[in-house]
């Protein structure tokens, strides 16, 4: 693995490194960790990399690695930069024959997104997008239950993503994360909706297997002087006639990272909450509520395949994140070996999920600016 971004002071880069390391299937071999070459060099030292595999830019990394003999050069690129810096390295990596893991959202604009989709199709390379919340075992279980028809026809979806960390004008401090996320030139046309709303959208579509077809959005920048939305409420309509609500916010003072989803069908419903991710509360029309738990009892193979340790030993955010890396690595390894991958390991978010997320952002912003009630997606 060669990493783009994620040097000293960054947040998500460290998460990617831990997620990649957990299963001892992936080795960090090189990186361009910062646009500042000195910072990149120091970061490389932190990771015990040889100096000649620490590059000053992603372009240099991709070019030089390509010249290394097979087996020695990196097998794939992991992109962990802010949104506006996804497209460049992703495109170049694909064009130079490297598989890609990319943080979400996919990129900055619809045009970029469509170009990346086309490039992945052309090259046939493997592309994973880290919509990590779908990596949890009980999310897999929830999706499998719906797919198997256990809940009947889906009628209602409520997906929420409240955070509170941007309740004040944190971007006026040195806080790097707040800085780029509230800056349209680095984050794109949406704030909270791009940063976390897309996770909610992705989770809802992943779990239900449905597509959002229409939406009606009300976005707000509550903190005075902020340019991008820090709160949004959206009515949803799904492909099968189900209705829903999505709300995401970064000004829900006191909330941590409370992504959660409820889905109701004709036979039952469930609730899953990221902050207690090993529990899936299933409610039935005609039986008692069941508490399904990671590793406990008969679960779908999709859940079991993404569980590492026995029941009651809580698996967390990093393990879910690592599931994307593990599945991606499995598929890359199978490709290198010319073997068919385990079908259960084909389950990771890809470039089309990224495109879908970009569309969601675009339509939510359009709806917010419109007097019409419904915008098609």
Interface with a copy of itself in residues 13-52 (CB under 8 A): 14-15, 17-18, 21-24, 28, 47-48
- CA-atom Rg of the chain in angstroms: 21
Q: Does 11 bind a copy of itself (CB under 8 A)?
A: yes
Q: Does 340 bind a copy of itself (CB under 8 A)?
A: no
Q: From its phi and psi, is residue 80 left (phi > 0), alpha (psi between -120 and 50) or beta?
A: alpha
- Pick one of 8, 147, 155, 186: the residue that binds a copy of itself (CB under 8 A): 155
The dihedrals phi and psi of 225, each to the nearest 5 degrees, come to: 90, -10
Instruction: Indicate the SS3 state at residue 272.
Output: strand
Token reading at 292? 């399904």
Residue among 80 and 119 whose Cβ is closer to a copy of itself = 80
Interface with a copy of itself in residues 274-333 (CB under 8 A): 274-278, 281-293, 295-297, 308-319
Least distance between a copy of itself and beta carbon 293 (Å)? 7
Interface with a copy of itself in residues 53-112 (CB under 8 A): none
Residue among 313 and 376 whose Cβ is closer to a copy of itself = 313
Interface with a copy of itself in residues 103-142 (CB under 8 A): none
Interface with a copy of itself in residues 203-242 (CB under 8 A): 216, 218, 220, 222, 231, 233, 235, 237
Interface with a copy of itself in residues 341-370 (CB under 8 A): 370
Q: Does 1 bind a copy of itself (CB under 8 A)?
A: no
Shortest CA distance to 5 belongs to which of 82, 66, 87, 101? 82
DSSP string for 205-217 = HHHH---EEEEEE
- How many residues touch a copy of itself under the rule CB under 8 A: the total is 90
Q: Does 7 bind a copy of itself (CB under 8 A)?
A: no
Rounded CA gap, 249 and 166, in Å? 9
Q: Does 336 bind a copy of itself (CB under 8 A)?
A: no
Instruction: Indicate the SS3 state at residue 30.
Output: strand
Instruction: Indicate the SS3 state at residue 37.
Output: helix
Task: Give 370's contacts (C-beta < 8 A, 6+ positions apart).
Answer: none
Report whether 158 contacts 204 (CB < 8 A): no
- Pick one of 13, 191, 265, 349: the residue that binds a copy of itself (CB under 8 A): 265
């Amino acid at each position: 693995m060669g990493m783009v971004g994620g040097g000293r002071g960054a947040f998500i880069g460290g998460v990617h490194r831990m997620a990649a390391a957990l299963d001892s299937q992936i080795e960090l071999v090189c990186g361009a960790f910062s646009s500042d070459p000195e910072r990149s060099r120091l970061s490389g030292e932190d990771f015990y990399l040889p100096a000649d595999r620490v590059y000053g830019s992603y372009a240099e990394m991709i070019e030089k690695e390509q010249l290394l003999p097979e087996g020695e050069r990196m097998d794939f690129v992991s992109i962990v930069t802010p949104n506006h810096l996804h497209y460049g390295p992703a495109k170049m990596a694909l064009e130079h024959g490297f598989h890609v893991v990319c943080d979400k959202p996919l990129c900055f604009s619809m045009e970029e997104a469509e170009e990346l989709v086309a490039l992945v199709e052309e090259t046939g390379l493997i592309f994973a997008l880290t919509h990590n919340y779908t990596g949890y075992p009980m999310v897999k279980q929830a999706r499998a239950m719906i797919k198997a028809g256990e809940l009947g026809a889906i009628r209602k979806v409520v997906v929420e993503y409240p955070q509170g960390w941007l309740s004040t004008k944190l971007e006026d401090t040195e806080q790097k994360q707040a800085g780029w996320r509230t800056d349209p030139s680095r984050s794109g046309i949406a704030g909270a909706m791009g940063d976390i709303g897309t996770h909610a959208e992705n989770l809802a579509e992943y779990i239900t297997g449905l597509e959002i077809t229409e939406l009606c959005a009300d976005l707000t920048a509550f903190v005075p002087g902020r340019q991008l939305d820090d709160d949004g409420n959206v009515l949803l309509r799904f492909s099968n006639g189900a209705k829903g609500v999505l709300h995401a916010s970064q000004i829900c003072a006191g909330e941590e990272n409370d992504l959660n989803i409820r889905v109701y069908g004709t036979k039952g419903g469930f609730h899953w909450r990221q902050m207690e991710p090993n529990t899936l509360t299933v409610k039935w029309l005609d039986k008692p509520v069941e508490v399904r738990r990671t590793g406990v009892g008969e679960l779908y193979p999709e859940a079991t395949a993404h569980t590492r340790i026995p029941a009651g030993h809580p698996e967390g955010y990093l393990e879910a994140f690592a599931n994307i890396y593990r599945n991606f690595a499995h598929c890359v390894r199978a490709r290198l070996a010319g073997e068919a991958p385990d079908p259960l390991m084909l389950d990771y978010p890809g470039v089309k999920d990224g495109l879908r997320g970009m569309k969601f952002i675009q339509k939510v912003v359009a709806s917010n600016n419109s007097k019409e009630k419904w915008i098609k997606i």
